[in-house]
Amino acid sequence: MKPEDMASRLASFLPSELRRTQRALKGAGRRNPDEPVHEARKSIKKLRAALRLARKMAPKRARDGVGHPLREAAHALGPLRDHLVLNKTGRDLAKRGENMPPLPDAPDPGPLLKRARAELGRATRELQRLRQGGFNELGAEAGLRRIYRRARKEMKKTCKSESDADLHAWRRRAKDLYYVLDLVEAPSGYVEKMKRLTELLGDDHDLACFEQAHGSAAARKTHHYILKRAKKRRRPLQKNAFRLGRRLFDRDERDFVRRVLA
């Protein structure tokens, strides 16, 4: 995709994806917020990745006007998504007849959904201002290089430390790159491999959150069999993620972007 096409694609993607996010939250209620919240958070991540692509394509103030309410909306939905992940991960780990470790109390979705909807409304108003200024196509490749460089840097750091914090940071940067590659219609091989990497890191992150939520001495003693199972499942996920990551990030950012946009 040519830089001018990337600018045009970005201008059409942002409002359409923001509308998709708002529609998802319209279906979220107190009794069944799970699936709508998951879809809304995924759309917000795509929008924030697109704004990172636009780092050199639009003024910072205009980008932040949209980015800040998107970040606040994501923070509002975070507790709902976290509780869903803990519950699902526990069910997946527990065998028949085993009791899951107790979950933290579920957050009240009402105020959180209200706050998220309000922030998305603010992002919509700010997006109109951002689009009025247009997107400078000359900054498209620079934005893509930066997103790749940040993901590559986090991978190298994570390969050395293998810490949960670094794995989580690498996952965030890898998701940015995956969403942007999909947005600019990169060759399908790159997109599919990046998607697989984010899935591996995402599954590992869910298990890490489960371990952290039940890290007390009492939980480790009472439910050691489930926590041990979680730890065991993480090993192949990390091994496969590192192997795939080294193949995906084996070149510098200029070479990568040249190949992706060829």
Q: Which amino acid makes up residue 67?
A: G
pLDDT at 33: 64
pLDDT at 204: 97
Cβ neighbours for 102, distance < 8 A, ≥ 6 positions apart: none
Cβ neighbours for 63, distance < 8 A, ≥ 6 positions apart: 51, 54, 55, 130
Going residue by residue through the chain (262 aa), what tens digit of pLDDT does each one get?
Answer: 888 899 999 999 999 999 999 998 987 765 566 788 999 999 999 999 999 999 999 999 999 999 999 999 999 999 999 998 998 998 899 887 777 777 778 899 999 999 999 999 999 999 999 999 999 999 999 999 999 999 999 999 999 999 999 999 999 999 999 999 999 999 999 999 999 999 999 999 999 999 998 877 666 666 788 888 999 999 999 999 999 999 999 999 999 999 888 7
Phi (first) and psi of residue 236, to 5 degrees:
-65, -30
Residue ranges covered by each domain of the chain: 3-260
Tell which residue, 2, 45, 1, 4, has the closest CA to residue 136: 4
Measured CA to CA, the distance from residue 228 to residue 225 in angstroms comes to 5
Tell which residue, 188, 196, 184, has the closest CA to residue 241: 196
Measured CA to CA, the distance from residue 70 to residue 175 in angstroms comes to 16
pLDDT at 34: 75
Architecture field, domain 3-260: Alpha solenoid (1.40)
Cβ neighbours for 105, distance < 8 A, ≥ 6 positions apart: none
pLDDT at 47: 98
